[in-house]
Amino acid sequence: MVDGWFLLDAMDGIHEEQLMLTKEFLDLSDYAHQKRRSPRKVWVTALIAAILALLLAACGYAVYRATMAHRELTLADEKVYFFDGDEDTLNEGLHIDLNFGTCAMALHFDTEETGCLYGFRITDGASLDPAWLCREATLKELFESYEPGGFRPEAQQRPLEQCLREAGMTEAEAEEWYSALIYSGDPAAERPALRIDVLDGPRLHGVDLILGWPEGKATVVKEEAQGDVQILETLIEVPTNTGEPQKTLFLFRFDTKRQVLLSVAGADELLDFPALEAIAEHIELRETGFVYSLDHSGQNWSIFGLAFG
């Protein structure tokens, strides 16, 4: 078996002076395994690790990191958004160029086209109103959409059993992990109280999320990074017939390494950003082994908001 210690012994001829110069250049700290090997051999291991890291990066094995960016939309924007009607539909042959200039904000992600499906669940301790009604979009329902004969591309269609096997999940587990959860305090309400979504790389690739449709204003409340995660909190105001704007709070957490977006959106009259942050701390993400891609060649935008649909 070729492991780190095998490589260490194989490279045992490196001179002490070279090791110490490398140690100083890399500003390496001490290792817990010094008692197992001599200090000299510890630095051999460090040098090997540094060389391997450079080689892997040069060969394309470095981890790809995506980014999340946002911009205000204006009528002066070029028409960068488009819609093309699908074949064999009433919209076949239709092409529309748009700029969404009256909307509030656009979010853009440079994720990869093919990636793993993610799901989430709420862990114990989340401060959710027990009286709220919940609509669930489970991973099982998503996998069922890939059944042969469905609307998914034929090359990606497979039976539920195969989807579960690729995902590394049982059917029961797939019913307990979600792509979206929608909470409402009133069945007759026009919009939810809270909506939680997880959008992974394939869903975000080549698509901008449009906030504040059809007309709105955005106020960025917080924008920061915590390790691999970009965090954006924004207040979106949309005018209504009553004269008072409808306000929605959006908390976005984008993991640049895993290429997955967690969105927690809440009604301003019921929640605030500290409440959304507390809920987000009790959301567990799960990367499945289900690999897929989506074709966004016919539409490079998606209206995103606090809605039941």
**Domain layout of the chain by residue ranges:** 4-57, 61-303
Confidence of residue 299 (pLDDT cuts 50, 70, 90): very high
Please give the residue that has the higher pLDDT: either 40 or 155.
Answer: 155
The pTM is what?
Answer: 0.80
Please give the residue that has the higher pLDDT: either 256 or 65.
Answer: 256
Confidence of residue 53 (pLDDT cuts 50, 70, 90): low
CA 42, CA 47: separation in Å to the nearest integer? 9
DSSP character for 4? H
Share of the chain above pLDDT 70, in %: 80
Return the SS3 of 154.
helix
CA 294, CA 113: separation in Å to the nearest integer? 7
Asked if residue 113 has pLDDT above 50, the reply is yes
- Within the chain, residue ranges assigned H as helices are 4-10, 16-26, 39-58, 139-144, 160-167, 171-174, 201-204, 273-280
Residue 234 dihedral angles phi and psi, to the nearest 5°: -140, 140
CA 50, CA 64: separation in Å to the nearest integer? 19
Asked if residue 4 has pLDDT above 60, the reply is no
Over residues 88-100, mean pLDDT: 90
Q: Which residue has the tokens 């140690």?
A: 23
Task: List pLDDT tens digits, range 151-189.
Answer: 999 999 999 999 999 999 999 999 999 999 999 988 788
Over residues 43-63, mean pLDDT: 56
Confidence of residue 90 (pLDDT cuts 50, 70, 90): confident
Asked if residue 89 has pLDDT above 90, the reply is no
**Residue pair 213/100 in contact by the 8 Å Cβ criterion:** yes
Length of the chain: 309
